[in-house]
Amino acid sequence: MEDAAQAADVAVRGSQSEGLTVMTAQRVEVTGDTDELPVAVDGEALRMPAPVVCTLRKGALRVRVPRDRPGTVAPAPPVDWRRIAGLAFGRTGRTPHV
C-alpha cells in the first residue's frame, strides 16, 4: 500500500482494486537486502531471517465469513422442481372452473 487512499480503495473494491495484485501459489519466497525481514504473523509484528518462505497445503486453510456480510448478493431461492414438472405436464394443483 502506498497510502490511506489506496488502502481504502482495496477495502471498497476488493480484488478489483488497482492497488492489489491477486495471485495463487503453493509456495512463496520473500527475499531482501538484509539478513532479517519485518513480517506480521496473526497481527503480531516480528522479524524473521531472510529469505522468508511460506507454503500452503491444499485444504489446510479454512476461512469462515458471515453469510450476510456487506458486499454479498442474496442467494437465489431454491428451485421447486415438483412445481415446475407439474406446470410442464399441465398439473397446476388448482381445480378447473366450470
pLDDT of residue 32: 87
- pLDDT (average), residues 75-80: 84
- DSSP readout, 14-42? GGG-TT------SEEEE--SSSEEEEEET
Residue 80 has pLDDT above 80, yes or no: yes
Give pTM, 2 decimals.
Answer: 0.42
pLDDT of residue 65: 64
